[in-house]
A and B are shown apart, each in its own frame.
Chain A
Amino acid sequence: MTLLRLRVALLVAAVGAQLVLFSSAATPTYALSNGSGAGIGMHGFDTCQDPSQRTAKAWWTNTPWSWIGLYVGGREMACSQPNLSSAYLNNLRAMGWRFQFIWVGPQAPCSGFGVTFSSNATTAYSQGQAEARSARSKLISLGITNQAKGSPLVFDLEAFNPSSCNALAAARSFVKGWVDQLHVAPAQSAGVYGSTCASQLQSYAGSHQPDFIWGANYDGNQHTSVMSCVSASSWASHQRLKQYIGGHNETWGGVTLNIDTDCSNGPVAPTGGNFSTACS
């Protein structure tokens, strides 16, 4: 057989057969930056109803944000979450998104919200523990691996009047319960979200303090070091996220969402890595 005939024969074989490509599915390796320079890697957003996969895709491709605050549960969660599932998280993660998981449980006593924790500090502590257990279970049910070890988890504590119904002492105790329970092995990273002033975030510093805070302070300043009512010396080691612009409409990739804008200099799922500089 001449070389030409060989060539033709082999090409016919190649064209006449459909080659099936297959390999064992590789475990994806995600590169998580530790944020060594100014950039966009730590900017994020949150919205009442967790965005659909199509929206998340459009926004990953077109926005400067790399993480989403996702509401995962709690009796005071404002919006239903039809998109939320294990597959949803996996797909968003494959897109590149990171997450901050938000739990909206009972609020401070006499705060006017529908479900509140007790004004009795001892009871409030137990309720904080119970919420932590429920939230952690939710993460595990959503497929967060390794018993959600190390995963950040934020309790959403809305504004309240600290001088009524023993609310401040109760809130401190509730937060301690939340933190202590999340620190039970395999521990999670315990966070508290709230208005930097009206949710009394500074009051939770000290022993049993949250690992990080996510402060709502709508001053338009992305730097987490600048938070009204929170001492610069508290949560000073990559332990802060800041919601610095409140609810507003933004359109990216042809999709409009009503969002809060956030910056993270603290842990973000899935690995709890710290990010710095642009949001510090």
Chain B
Amino acid sequence: MPGLSRRALLAGLAGAIAMALAATGVVLVAARGGGGSRPPAPASARNAAAAVPAQAEAAVVASDATQPPTPTAAPTPAPTPKTGTAAVPWVDSPGTPQSVPVSGSAGRACRAADLDVAAGLSGALQNLATQELTLRDRAADPCFLAGVPQVVLTNAGARSRVSPGQFAAKRLDLAAGASASLVVGTPTACAGTGQPVVATSVLLTLPAGDAVTVGGTQIDTECGAPTVVAFGVADLLPAAAPGPLDSLSATLDAPQTVARGAVLTYQVTLANQSPVPVALSPCPSYTEVLGGGGPGAAQRTLVLNCPAGATIAAGASVTYKVELAVPASTPAGDTKLTWTLEVPDGPVAGTVITVT
């Protein structure tokens, strides 16, 4: 058709499909504005699938989980609508990775008055009998421990001082209400006298200098000196500020094998597990990585293929078809494939595949 580009025509046809869907009861909602501009059209010659504009493709994949999908007649030469099977293609548009969250966010050291300290589990670890101590930040704000607190057993004689082990300088940040776990271990086997030397309380001195006594412990030093064998917190990284895409989860469907030098094609499904729609606006980026923890990983960050003003309805999902070129230099064997939505606390989907 002279005077009308294929891209523009198909974009227009998407609107027709959208209106047809509205007429058949498939949900269309008013645009909220605030961005949502469609990513640039694919530029890569190999991205044949992405030649279908995002809006048209989005209409193709739309289906209703609760109602039989209604096929929509589309004027020639638009693609014939299908239901629930096609995936939204990728677009070759560079994206922006987000900064990596780091621990160490608390602005002040913990004081004894900030902490509820209690005896936790007694157990077994690394061939040692263990006693856990829990340190909960009961203050209204985060605080940090610059290293493991000094632990002294109150009635263990020469073996009263607990070695900090590998944790003397390990900083832990405690969010308000969060708990750290400090585990003291002692040897269990020895040619001893069979006379247990059990410490039923300990004195913790915090890096800031103040101390707290904890009762209810069972630490037997008959067979050797005590050592800190674990010191951690349930969540080492700070929580991200809540975002509109928090309720999305991602799952990945990839082949089990891929050849070096080939293009790996796989699918990622974003599901909205919340009771409210999630707007893909502004359109987020994603990063895909083949490899893990070492040099030579194939990696790139692109913008998601968001239809203009697209929303994932409550309880619904959308599947994206994505690709990644596997360098010929990739080592053969098992490796990780990871897809990350580049939003704070965004979903990650991954698997292990074999490079042949």
Contact = CB atoms under 8 A, between A and B. Distances in A.
Interface of A: 3-4, 6-7, 9-26, 28-33, 35-42, 47-49, 51-52, 54-55, 57-58, 60-66, 75-80, 82-83, 91, 94-98, 104, 107, 111-114, 156, 158-161, 195, 198, 246-249, 252-258, 275, 277-278
Contacts of A160: 188-189
B210 interface: no
**List of 3 A-B pairs having minimum Cβ-Cβ separation, nearest first:** A39-B333, A41-B334, A96-B350
Given A40-B334, A48-B181, A94 B349 contact: yes
A43 B29 CA distance: 48
A94 B347 contact: yes
B229 A22 contact: no
Contacts of B236: 51-52, 54-55, 255-257
Nearest to B196: A112
B348 to A, nearest CB: 5
A83 B178 CA distance: 12
B218 interface: yes
B292 A40 contact: yes
Interface string B268-280: 0101000001010
Nearest to B240: A54
Given A28-B251, A78-B130, 16 more contacts: A7-B4, A10-B12, A33-B354, A39-B333, A39-B354, A49-B181, A51-B236, A54-B236, A58-B101, A58-B237, A61-B348, A94-B250, A96-B351, A158-B127, A255-B237, A275-B334
Interface residues of B, number: 121
Interface in B219-246: 220, 223, 229-237, 239
A20 B181 CA distance: 45
A154 B59 CA distance: 49
B170 interface: yes
12 contacts: A20-B28, A21-B62, A25-B315, A26-B319, A29-B253, A64-B292, A80-B179, A95-B338, A96-B352, A112-B188, A114-B129, A247-B166
Counting chain B CB atoms within 10 Å of each CB, the highest count among A20, A39, A66 belongs to A20
- Interface SS of chain A: helix, strand, loop or mixed? loop
B101 A94 contact: no
B208 interface: no
Contacts of B179: 80, 82
Interface string B300-327: 0000000111111101111100000000
Contact of B63 (A24, A49, A80): A24
Contacts of B4: 3-4, 7
B127 A198 contact: yes
Interface in B115-167: 120-130, 132, 134, 166-167
B65 A18 contact: no
B338 to A, nearest CB: 6
B65 A21 contact: no
Contact of B15 (A14, A76, A95, A113): A14
